[in-house]
Amino acid sequence: MIAVGINGYGTIGKRVADAVREQPDMRVRGVAKTSPNHEAELAVENGLPLYGAVEDRLDLFEEAGIELAGTVDVLVADSDVVVDATPSGIGAQNRELYEEHDTPALFQGGEDAEVADVSFNARSNYGEAVDADYVRVVSCNTTGLSRLVAPLRKEYGVEKVRATLVRRGGDPAQSGRGPINDILPDPVTLPSHHGPDVKTVFPDLDIDTLGLKVPATLMHMHSVNVTLSTGATAPEVRDLLAGEDRIHVIPEDTGIDGAGALKEYALDRGRPRGDLWENCLWGESVTTEDGPGGTDLYLFQAIHQESDVVPENVDAIRAVTGAADREESMATTDENMGMGL
Ligand code: NAD
């Protein structure tokens, strides 16, 4: 059993904890938190040992009547691997703690790539993370693009990717984020950071990305154009992508016309927190056109920012501990989380 410590029990941390608990070969050793909020209560209710992440905030837990199992350094020492799911920038500060205890750690996409030896997407470069000490599970958008690019590259070759990312302004609970009534080129300069981030997974990929932010909390939407090296028809590409376990090709007759309907669908299907771990890609949007530089492929996909990185974290745990190869890990993760819609 791999003992997994989770430092930061917020949007990503609590989802990773739940996914780890579903796996037959790992268990949550404990979770570390800074505040005795409702998520701390949830951890305790779920029977997870709770550790205080910041020394001078330990009193707050006592005042709130929440019992701590210890401080975060004990959790790190007692874990085989730590998933750092703290806010952007804090992970890099925590690296020293993991080094002190010689505990391998996973960081999240909000950290700079330099924080880790490998930027990770299970479908694309699992092998590079095997036995690595520090791995960064790339962001939600980079995960979504990497899952798409990996099979296309293998099957057809990719000359160039151009993607426009219409991004949610904030997660549902982030009441301070915006815009409230605006549409922002974000950043207004090109490329957005997403293209370079995808290149941390595929260093030789030619990719340009543009970003916008809109008043939405549900999901991101990608409008993607990929120039393929060899010819392909739309039905062939659709079949290829439908064969990917972490891509859900939305059939034409479902009436799912956007992110709202997708979230409703996930809730109706009993998905925890209404999570959509898969890229949700509209089958009807898959279009190909022969051009001078290759075959141009166009499509739309929606990415659930709060959850698509969760199965990737589970696989990264197996990679750094050398517990399984890519195929075995992804199959185990998917089966036990209930991947597939
Ligand atoms: P979050 O704010 O929801 O959760 C972070 C948690 O860490 C909170 O519970 C916070 O109290 C706690 N925390 C703060 N300082 C801490 C410290 N020093 N030690 C331990 N815990 C601390 O953030 P999130 O959305 O879960 O993001 C975590 C990481 O995942 C970031 O790198 C982010 O960029 C990345 N990420 C977020 C999303 C998303 O859409 N939310 C998607 C993909 C990746």
Task: Compute the distance between CA of residue 178 and CA of residue 173 in angstroms, rounded to an integer.
Answer: 12
- Residue 140 bears catalytic tag: yes
The CATH number linked to 53 is 3.40.50.720
**What pLDDT sits at residue 194?**
98
Give the residue from 170, 169, 152 showing the smallest Cα distance to 161: 152
Q: Which two tokens stand for residue 266?
A: 């996930």
The CATH number linked to 269 is 3.30.360.10
Q: Is the C-beta atom of 53 inside 6 A of ligand 1?
A: yes
Nearest CA to ligand 1 atom 15: 86
Give the residue from 13, 27, 10, 11 showing the smallest Cα distance to 106: 13
The mean pLDDT of the chain is 97
Residue 251 pLDDT greater than 90, yes or no: yes
- pLDDT digits over 152-192, tens only? 999 999 999 999 999 999 999 999 999 999 999 999 999 99
Q: What is the mean pLDDT of residues 8-18?
A: 98
Nearest CA to ligand 1 atom 23: 87
Query: What percent of the chain stands above pLDDT 90?
Result: 98
Q: Identity (one letter) of the amino acid at 196?
A: P
Residue 250 pLDDT greater than 90, yes or no: yes
Nearest CA to ligand 1 atom 12: 8
Three-class DSSP category at 38: helix
199 and 60 part of one domain: no
Q: What is the atom index within ligand 1 of the atom nearest the CA of 108?
A: 32
SS3 track for 163-197: EEEEEECCCCCCCCCCCCCCCEECCCCCCCCHHHH
Task: Compute the distance between CA of residue 226 and CA of residue 248 in angstroms, rounded to an integer.
Answer: 19
Q: Which two tokens stand for residue 36?
A: 């005795």
How many structural domains compose the chain? 2
- The boundaries of the domain holding residue 67 are 2-138+309-337
25 and 171 part of one domain: no
216 and 76 part of one domain: no
Q: Is the C-beta atom of 46 inside 6 A of ligand 1?
A: no
Nearest CA to ligand 1 atom 20: 8
82 and 184 part of one domain: no
Task: Compute the distance between CA of residue 271 and CA of residue 265 in angstroms, rounded to an integer.
Answer: 9
7 and 88 part of one domain: yes
Q: What is the mean pLDDT of residues 306-311?
A: 98
58 and 207 part of one domain: no
Among the listed residues 74, 115, 140, 148, the single catalytic one is: 140
Task: Compute the distance between CA of residue 306 and CA of residue 140 in angstroms, rounded to an integer.
Answer: 8
**Distance of CA 174 from the midpoint of ligand 1 (Å):** 12
77 and 173 part of one domain: no
> What backbone phi and psi angles, to 5 degrees, belong to 229?
-75, -35
Q: Is the C-beta atom of 35 inside 6 A of ligand 1?
A: yes
Q: Are 140 and 303 in contact (CB under 8 A)?
A: yes
**What pLDDT sits at residue 291?**
86
Task: Compute the distance between CA of residue 153 and CA of residue 230 in angstroms, rounded to an integer.
Answer: 10
User: Please, what sign has the CA dihedral across residues 82, 87, 91, 93?
Assistant: negative
**What pLDDT sits at residue 334?**
98
Q: Give the pTM.
A: 0.98
113 and 11 part of one domain: yes
Q: Is the C-beta atom of 125 inside 6 A of ligand 1?
A: no
Q: Is the C-beta atom of 173 inside 6 A of ligand 1?
A: no
Nearest CA to ligand 1 atom 25: 11
Task: Compute the distance between CA of residue 53 and CA of residue 33 in angstroms, rounded to an integer.
Answer: 5
Q: Which two tokens stand for residue 285?
A: 């949007």
**Distance of CA 257 from the midpoint of ligand 1 (Å):** 30
21 and 155 part of one domain: no
What count of residues does the chain have? Answer: 341
User: Please, what sign has the CA dihedral across residues 242, 313, 227, 281?
Assistant: positive
75 and 173 part of one domain: no
166 and 299 part of one domain: yes
51 and 82 part of one domain: yes
**Distance of CA 241 from the midpoint of ligand 1 (Å):** 31
User: Please, what sign has the CA dihedral across residues 13, 18, 21, 24?
Assistant: negative
Residue 18 pLDDT greater than 90, yes or no: yes
